[in-house]
Structures are given as C-alpha cells and as structure tokens.
Chain A
C-alpha cells in the first residue's frame, strides 16, 4: 500500500467514529472531556457550534454517533454520547452573552425561510451573525416544526425547545408566526428577498386505503393526531388502541395514547423484530410502559359495525429468513383484533401545494423537488431546500446539517460567488505530551459499563402528558460515563524516520493494533496483521518504509483505545499522541465568539 496521506483531513476525522457519523460532525470527545472537567458551559457551546440544539438533541437525537462509537466495538455498549450532551445542557450556566450576535449594521441582503423547524432555524442561526436580515414564515402559532408539534412533551419539554429557539430568534430574526406561505410565486415576486430557504418539512402522513377506511372518525393519521395532542385539540382516546407501523411516529403515538386514557395499546408490525424502523431504545421505552408489540400482522381491513369502529382484520404472516434477510413470505391465516381507535403511523410524504409548478423549480416524478445534495440549491438558483423538505423525512440532526450547508450556499450566492465552491474542512494536530509518561488527557482505559438512564416511575409518569420521563444522568453517572470515552480524537501520529524497529509499541499495545511487516496490498496486509483487520469499514494506517528493514508500520484503527502506551513505550518518540481538531466550516465562522480557533481545547 502507499503510505497513508494523513494530511487529508478525512483520515483523522474518520478515526473519530462518532464525529464522522454525526451528520453535523459534532466534536464529541472534546465536549465529553469538557464535561469531565466540569466545564459544562463550554461543553454546551462546543455542541452548539455544530448541532445548534444541544438541549433538544441531548434528549431526542436519533444518535447515529452511538452505533458508530468505537467503544461499542471494544466492548458491547457505546458511550452514552447523547445523554452526555444533555448533561452539558442541563448544567450549563447562562450562555446568552457567549452566543453569536447579529451586527447592528446589516449587509443589505434579505432571506426568507419557510417553516420554523430546525432546518430554517439553523439557516437563521448561521446567517444572522453575518448581517443578513432573515424572515421566517411559520404556519403555526409556535416555532419548532415537528419538534414542537410531533415530538411529545414527555420526551422533549417545551421549555427546552423555547430556550434554544429563543437564542436564535433573539439575534433579531423576523419570525412571522401564524403566517403560512400560500404561494411561492407571490413571495418571489414581492422582490423582498434575495434568496429563499424552504424548510417546510414533510408534512403529510400516509393514509391506509383498505376496506372499511371511510365512515368512521376513529382512524387517525399519526402525525396529525400528535399535532392535535400537542396543541391540546385532543384530550382523550379510546381504551383500546392499535398503532399501525413501527417507526418513530408509532412509538410516540403509542406512548401518547397511554397518556390520553388508553389502557391497552398494541403496535402492529407487518414484519418480525429486526425489521423495525424504530430504534432499539424507543422500543425499550415503549415496552417498559407495557405497550405490546405484535409482529407479523399485515393489515387487511377495518372492521366497523353501524359506523362504529370495532376492530381490524389482519393477515398473520410467516417469513423465511436467511442471514437476517427475508427470502419468502406467506399468509398463515387471518385474525380480527378489536379496538376503539386506530392510529396510522406508516410514513410521511413531502407535499408542496403552495409551490407553483411553473417557477422553474423542477420536481421529479414523485413530486419531490430536484435539489443538489451538496449545495441544497434547487433548479431555481435563489431557492434552496433543506431538512425533511429536501430529500424526504430524516431527523433533526440532518435538518441542522442541511441548514448549515444551505447557509454556506446562500452566503456564497448572495456574494455572487459560485455555490459549489465551498470552504474545505481542515485538521490541526497538537501534541498531548506533557512529560515522559504524562499526557494532557486521561489515557487510562476505564472498564466501567454504560450507565442506565433513570426514569420517572411508571406510577408517576402518566399523571400528566408533559412529565418528562427521562430524568437525566445523576452527577455520579455522568462522572462514570465520561470515562468511557476513548478520546478517539487524540491520534496516534507516526514518524517513520524515527523508528528503530525495537518492537516496544507492538508488544505493549493492549488491543494488538500495530504490526511491522513487509508491505503488500490491502488484501494481503489485512489478514496478516498481528490481529487480523477484519472490519473493512475502518482504515489501515500504513507508514513509509522503515529505515532498517524496509518493512512498514501498519496500524489497524479499528479497536485502538487511544491509551497512548505505544507513544509512552517508544524510545524515539516515533509515535506521539496528538489531538486532532477537525474544523468543519460554517457560514458564520469568525463571527461566532465560540468558533474553534479562539477556544482553548480540552
């Protein structure tokens, strides 16, 4: 193999599995170290730099970082990254004076954002400090998008939402609530705006057109029903509720039903476990509340008697499974399950009835706008899309990342620069060596197991709709959990010229990451390493040829616990432990008092 080019910023970034997996590339190990030092406010601000809503995301993020976390491969469970984010948010001091401010003199450019969900709010967050005048149009009387209307308050308290939305709006955003945009054409023609960002979400819940659908008002569309619950339009539901579908919406519908008076709630799944869209932890939380998850039932008809819904007819399914994949299915029989209400949670669609089709905004055959995946620009140059509106339903952290990218594009566009020309990510390295055996990070491996989130008791939590179930980590739990992070951003940096091939690093490495061997192709090297490198998703580091034997030093990044022992044992400092800081560019860089270069790293 060619020597690894570690100047490519992606190389070290990939080693920080969580940060690489986070759509917004939150600097996770940095904020975890700050929490460990009790610097909660700074930990909060490091988060906010990338993900804008640490308090919200610390509760309800989809957390793609956790399945990616290296700790989950070294032992069974990943670091509770998301819960630690909440620790930072819960314990922060006042941050208002530390947040980006909009300058008094404006740059003369006006931006319209449609919808006050996380995508639009991020665009405003990034553009306001640059002197843009941002107007957000929101159909509802409150800002937040689905975070407000669909994510139940027992998972995400309103106060948390209010605070983090306020931080953005208080920069002077012109927030127009209760103001739906009914015609994009009219908005564009008004000539008031230099660019438009569409962050209107994927607002339409899918219906289930099977026999018996009409003639009863006890069949609800999940996201509409949750919206009515959020706005207090609905206060009760029948005793027996069936939820159709096992995605995120289903999980919120079943748990909300229990709080609206239901006492028997069944989530009806077409497929077996392992094929659900809902995350493992969402299923756990629902089952803890005695929601029954019924597998292998495909809906066939609604059963009504005299206009009254009495139950639902299902086909009982059987599947052939080969290596976790379904290779065949058949119907075993039919069964009627009685109920008082049905909630449909089988997906969302984009809908843009207010975008005229003659505006040169091209739509594909599914009525989805054509949007550039990098720049978020539509085929009409001054119109940008982000969040669920751009590529269909995703999640909050993706909406935030879309907002960041769209803000960069809008800034380029308004300066007359090509939107495809984007600032590159950068990486800086700085040694963590303090003395011969001393590093300025805690390098010892702590075998402590993942802490469990404490919950409000089952007796208490149903008393009111908005009792937050998760209590947050206790200080003791947080203190233990932070020690589980392996500091993957403290990189093992190798200098082949210095190596005297003494084997010390190879012998000491607890997880057998290192090998000195004659060079070869990747296919040759992977199996012949001291511990065969079977995880192909993880890169191999290959050094230049070593002085004495011409062999190469190969490191399998997969399970390195970043203990620094290789560097401690190296007599020539050929290995060093250096913290990598990945600078992910944002439109507001330099305008943010907390942007990276000015912060002292932990």
Chain B
C-alpha cells in the first residue's frame, strides 16, 4: 500500500491499443493491499489483458465478493462498471447482470475463501449455468482479510504462520470446476505473467464460464516456510502442462509448432488460442483424462498450471435459456412489462 498515488507520468514509448489507449488508462485506484501481495500482480495481469484486447472500459463489468482478493476490482479499469457484493454472493449478482445484458464483458474476482467456503454453492451454480464470464479465483490458501485462517484450499500438512498444521483435505477449484462441467479451466501463478496474461485473454474471449485459479501468495499470512502457497513453494512445485498463446482476432497464427505438439482452438469471436502441450499425452479437451491427470499430479505435490480444460461447444446460459439478445435497458418499456392485460393472461394460465 502507498499513501501516494501512482503518478500519471508514463514512459513515452508506452504502446497504444486499437482504441488509442495505453495500459495506464486501464489502471484503477491505488491498492491498499500489503506490499508484495500476489493479488496486486494479478491486477497488473488483468490490466494487461483487458488493454491488449482493446475492451472499452465502459463495456467491462467488474464483480466481486469480500476478501483482499475481492478488493482487486477497485484497482483496475476505473472507467468500468463495478459491483462489490456480499461475501460469496458475487455469482448471483453476475448471473442477474449477464441475464440482463449480454453485450458487456464480465470479470468476476473472488478468493479461495469467497469461492470455496461461504460462496461454494454460488460458484457451483454459476458454472452449471455456464454464464459467460471470466471468473478469477485469487487463491492464497488463507482468509487474508480476516488475518490468515486456513481456507478450504489449504493443503493437508500446510503450516499456518503461528505453526498449527492443517488437517482438512483441500478443495481444488480446478477439480471442482471440472466435475461441475466448467467449459474453461486454467490455473496459473501471480508471479508468472507470461503464462497468466494469455490465459486471461483467452478466458475473456471464451463464450461461457471461464475459471482461472491463480495461486497468489499472501505475503503477510502465508509466505513462510512450511506453507504450500508461499512464493518459494509455488516456484518450486509448479508444473506447466499446457502453454497457451493467445492469438487475437484478425491476427494470423504465426508461431511455428512441431506437429502434434500444438493445438489451435478457435474461440467464438474468431480469435484463437494455441495450446502447446508440454506432455504430448495430455488432451485438454478430454474432461475425464484431465481429472485423472490433475489427481495424479496433486498426489505428487505438484501444482499443474496452464490451460487444463477447454470446451468451446457447450451452449452458454443465453443459448440454453433463449434469453433476449438486446440488453434489457435498451428494450422499450412496453416490451419489458407485459402490462396489466398481459399479467392477467399469464395468471390465467395458473387458474
């Protein structure tokens, strides 16, 4: 945290996106998180991702619950819409907003506590409905905001700052999402922007629920020896499985890959992700195999990162519901409201 705001002065060579905006134009308020918090690096990656996709700030909706992680929404894209909901209830707000307006880009930010404890039910149903949003779980293994209690993602045997050892088995958000039918599942690390930024770009372009679990060390309560979510431990135990290169719309796929090694996937808006499999036997489109693979790695104490699973075919919420394409705020009142006569007609059906 700083008392001084980041000065507006910028490097003259700072590149501009299609809208003529620089990365600096997508910044938000000054972070009040602890210095060195992984969450702040994720913020920087989010800024890079929304800037590079040339999203108009006013077309972005930032949603979050409660936690240090959930404060992230205040720290980027200050020109965007935002809703800071109740602890763990961000998915219902997102569902409502998405139902009402499918033209905007939805960025949900949550924590391991927010998503896997109090908000677990909400998380599950948002996945099940395949609402079209980027959902970032900033995963530090603790309740940072309430001073470092173990969260549901804490591994068995991991030590708290004062020394007590966690006995409860963890909920792995990636495994949970896989079993719930999530259509885009990735894991990354706050300290690896080269991996994280293209994953966020791809997730933002995915037509459905895109869950990105980001290991994000809590410098204050969970960065000590004995913790399995410290900078040191994550660096020592993370294992990239599928490297993702994001190829924006209208750009050619220029990267050369040996056959069999790379798998280009076209996203619904015409952009691509090129998946570079670091283990050729892995298939990121096979849910069953993915499940098994993560389980094995988990047993070996490794964090599997990269794009774990992708399904571009399953229908999203709007397709299933047949919801109206025009944002509701642009529908004329007469269409939105059936009026008394219409209401009577509906009620008649239940008589």
Contacts and interface: CB of A to CB of B under 8 A. Distances in A.
Interface in B1-55: 1-4, 6-14, 24, 34-38, 40-41, 43-44
A554 to B, nearest CB: 15
B36 A572 contact: yes
B32 to A, nearest CB: 11
Given A503-B193, A571-B34, A531 B13 contact: yes
B231 A500 contact: yes
A559 B36 contact: no
Interface string A475-502: 0000000000000000000000000111
B67 interface: no
A561 B8 CA distance: 11
B191 interface: yes
Contacts of B217: 502
B13 A504 contact: no
B4 A504 contact: no
A361 B138 CA distance: 78
Contact of A444 (B4, B12, B40, B235): B4
Contacts of A500: 36, 219, 223, 231-232
A445 B10 CA distance: 11
A503 B235 contact: no
A102 to B, nearest CB: 48
Contact of A571 (B3, B13, B219): B219
9 contacts: A444-B4, A502-B41, A502-B191, A504-B41, A510-B6, A531-B13, A532-B13, A561-B7, A571-B35
Contacts of B132: none
Contacts of A501: 191, 231, 235
Interface stretch (A157-165, A251-259, A414-422, A562-570): A562-570
Given A501-B191, A569-B36, A437 B4 contact: yes
A601 interface: no
A574 to B, nearest CB: 10
Given A500-B231, A502-B41, A568 B11 contact: no
Contacts of A563: 4, 7
B69 interface: no
A504 B36 contact: yes
Contacts of B140: none
A568 B44 CA distance: 17
A315 interface: no
A570 B190 CA distance: 15
Contacts of A559: 11-12
A501 B2 CA distance: 19
Contacts of B235: 501, 548-549
A193 B190 CA distance: 73
Interface of B: 1-4, 6-14, 24, 34-38, 40-41, 43-44, 190-191, 193, 217, 219, 223, 231-232, 235
B136 to A, nearest CB: 16
Given A74-B9, A437-B2, A512-B14, A507 B35 contact: no
A573 to B, nearest CB: 9
Given A443-B4, A572-B36, 6 more contacts: A437-B2, A445-B9, A502-B41, A502-B219, A503-B44, A503-B190
A111 B116 CA distance: 86
Contact of A531 (B6, B14, B38, B41): B14
Contacts of B37: 502, 504
B14 A502 contact: no
Interface string A415-455: 00000000000000000000001100001110100000000
A75 interface: yes
What does DSSP make chain A's interface, helix, strand, loop or mixed?
loop
A37 interface: no
Given A500-B232, A507-B43, A561-B9, A570 B35 contact: yes
Given A444-B4, A447-B8, A565-B2, A503 B191 contact: yes
Interface string A539-571: 000000000110000000001010101001111
A374 interface: no
Interface of A: 74-75, 437-438, 443-445, 447, 500-504, 506-508, 510-512, 531-532, 534, 548-549, 559, 561, 563, 565, 568-572
Given A507-B43, A569-B2, A502 B38 contact: yes
Contacts of B12: 559
B282 to A, nearest CB: 25
Contacts of A512: 10-11, 14
Contacts of A504: 35-37, 40-41
Given A500-B232, A502-B219, A512-B14, A568 B35 contact: yes
Nearest to B27: A510
B315 to A, nearest CB: 38
Contact of B10 (A502, A511, A569): A511
Contacts of B223: 500
B14 A507 contact: no
A501 B190 CA distance: 10
Nearest to A572: B36
Nearest to B217: A502
B231 A502 contact: yes
B6 A565 contact: yes
A563 B34 CA distance: 19
B223 to A, nearest CB: 7
B346 to A, nearest CB: 53
B40 A507 contact: yes
Contacts of B36: 500, 502, 504, 569-572
A510 B44 contact: no
B231 A511 contact: no
A202 B226 CA distance: 75
B232 A548 contact: yes
A565 B8 CA distance: 13
A569 B32 CA distance: 10
A508 B38 CA distance: 13
A532 B191 CA distance: 21
Contacts of A571: 34-36, 219
B44 to A, nearest CB: 4
Residue of A502, A508, A559 with most partner-chain B CB within 10 A: A502
Residue of B7, B13, B223, B235 with most partner-chain A CB within 10 A: B7
